[in-house]
Amino acid sequence: MLIINTIEEVRNHLAKIREKGLSVGFVPTMGALHEGHLSLIREARKENDYVVCSIFINPIQFNKKSDLEKYPRNIETDINLLNDEKCDVLFYPSEVEMLPTTKAETFDFGGLDQFMEGKFRSGHFNGVATIVKKLFEIIEPQRAYFGMKDYQQLVIIHKITKDHNLPVEIIPCHTIREEDGLAMSSRNQLLSKSERKQAATIFKVLKMIKIHSGFSTINEIKEYVESQFRKSKTAKLEYFEIVDMYSLKPLKAWAESNNVIACTAVQVGNVRLIDNIILFS
């Protein structure tokens, strides 16, 4: 695997790859790679001639300095994992290379950022969209792979690629979970043993509400979820929303949409975790 640190070099290299008529699949990440990330690389490997992964911990998408500072960094392990997956290029730029000015662009997400992550993490999606758009312009992939775990991010990236006519196909990929159901996340490694145990409650509750969704109202479901987290001292519910899968607008009644997803963010100790489950589509 080639490791490239500069925009100029990666551009020149990929221009030659495209000249040969090879398709490029791209997986943007912030590193501390786990099976969730690797599943995206495998999908990209299946559908493209050439696979590029980027690792860049994007400071402008963190709304808390402490979260950025403690974000896990395991570059040596990441390189080994990417080599094992036969990734062709790791683009691993420095902060000055990617963000000579640390300002995020301001996007119009058409209301997609109004709720959930957008509401609780001010500026987060402008930071994400700024860096993903830059990465797309540098790498110029045919396809880019994103996890359903970050569902709101996926929908927002889909919108900006359409709005800005970026010639890249966004491929959604399933959430990869630990054996007890916890969605894999780089942040999981920051959990203590007891917090890690508590974190499994998140998906247990989501699975339970999927069963209940046929015969309970949305309000009843919300009350059930809130009561489940009130019991726990370490896992604090930040939000739980049942939303339309496309507009991301919270629903008051099931009849309002045919495509429904439940999304949640839970603070477990000092670690903030997100997850979701499709209720019907």
What residues make contact with ligand PAJ under the rule CB under 6 A? Answer: 28-30, 36-37, 39-40, 58, 61, 128, 131-132, 146-147, 149-150, 153, 173, 175-176, 183-186
Do you know the residue count of the chain? 281
The nearest distance, CB 174 to ligand PAJ, in angstroms, is 6
Residue 169, classified by CB atoms within 10 Å of its CB into exposed (0-12), middle (13-18) or buried (19+), is middle
70 strand-pairing partners: none
Is 91 or 146 the residue whose CB approaches ligand PAJ more closely?
A: 146
The nearest distance, CB 187 to ligand PAJ, in angstroms, is 8
- The Cα–Cα gap between 160 and 193 comes to 39
Element spanning 223, H or E:
helix 218-230
Is 176 or 221 the residue whose CB approaches ligand PAJ more closely?
A: 176
What does each C-alpha distance from 268 to 226, 235, 236, 259, 276 come to in angstroms? 15, 4, 6, 29, 16
- The Cα–Cα gap between 116 and 213 comes to 20
Residue 19, classified by CB atoms within 10 Å of its CB into exposed (0-12), middle (13-18) or buried (19+), is exposed
The nearest distance, CB 134 to ligand PAJ, in angstroms, is 10
Is 121 or 218 the residue whose CB approaches ligand PAJ more closely?
A: 121
116 CB neighbour count, 10 Å cutoff: 23
The nearest distance, CB 278 to ligand PAJ, in angstroms, is 14
Catalytic residues: 37
Is 152 or 228 the residue whose CB approaches ligand PAJ more closely?
A: 152
